[in-house]
Structure 1
Amino acid sequence: MDFSALKHWRGRVRSILRIMAALLFMQHGTQKLLDFPLPGPDPLPPLLLAAGSIELFGGFLLAIGLFSRPVAFLLSGMAAAAYFIGHASSGFFPIINKGELAALYSFVFLYLFFAGPGPWSVDAVRRKGLFED
């Protein structure tokens, strides 16, 4: 089977992965900081305030594709820290400790750090010079 026709979609699908992962990740920040769509912890401990800020603002930057690689690296590390701080102490296997989402986010963002944001991003527009006078 010849998959060469799919090369045309590779960057676009990477952009879609970046946008969707970032929007889903942002929900963790909106829950913590804005009590949306569900109420977050009250009162919010300082560690969760920092995490929520990174999730919300970092997720937004990644969703629009601005500073994508450094933001993806930061979010990957934050998701890994969330796994080890919040989940790993409850058991070795992610399915048991409920940390599979944090682990998946960590690896998706690590992939985006190496692969780049894709063509549908502010970074791609800036790289092409479309914002120059």
Structure 2
Amino acid sequence: MFDRISAYQPQLLSLLRIVAGLLFISHGTAKVLGFPAMEGLPPVDFTLAGLSGPFELVLGLLLVLGLFTRPAAFVAAGFCAVGYWMVHGMQGPIPLVNGGETIALYCFVFLYFVAAGPGPWSLDAAMGKRR
């Protein structure tokens, strides 16, 4: 059974990238566009917290499209690692206790894309086929 499912690994990699990118974008839209409306979000300015929304929008979009996937995922993973330790890590090292399990998971999913690439459903793959 698992051998049959393994045949879909490349497509599932693309699906994971697309879903993770869309979820990451939603953090950016909440901070930049106010949708969905959430309380306690940082204002968009030139501080690290203020730039988090635009970063999430741009990097999330690149990941959804599968464009410059590895560099975008590398930057996103680093961004999440810094965000985890600056915001959540100050409240203790355990993600479940400090509220950082989501950003920690994003960090390692994005790190996986750095190694695995975008999968077949991506602009990176489409551009590679043209060369």
CA distance in 1, matches of 2:52, 2:42: 15
> Partner of 1:17 in structure 2?
16
Question: What is the percentage of aligned positions where both structures have the same residue?
Answer: 45
Cα distance in structure 1, aligned partners of 2:91 and 2:111: 24
Distance 1:90 1:121 in 2: 38
1:61-120, Cα deviation, whole Å (9 max, x unpaired): 110100000000000001111100100010121111000001000000000110010000
> What RMSD in Å do the two structures reach over aligned CA positions?
1.5
Q: Secondary structure at the match of 2:18?
A: helix
**Residues 1:83 and 2:81 aligned together:** no
CA contact (8 A) 1:68 1:113 kept: yes
User: What corresponds to 1:27 in structure 2?
Assistant: 26
**Number of residue pairs matched by the alignment:** 129
Note the residue ranges of structure 2 that are not aligned, 5 or more in a row: none
Is the 1:32–1:48 Cα contact (8 Å) retained in structure 2? no
**TM superposition score normalised by structure 2:** 0.92
Q: Distance in 2 between matches of 1:58 and 1:43?
A: 19
- 2:100 corresponds to: 99
Cα distance in structure 1, aligned partners of 2:76 and 2:27:
12
Q: Secondary structure at the match of 1:52?
A: helix
Larger Rg: 1
State TM-score, norm by structure 1. 0.90
> The residue matched to 1:87 in structure 2 has which SS?
helix
> How far apart are residue 5 of structure 1 and its match?
1.8
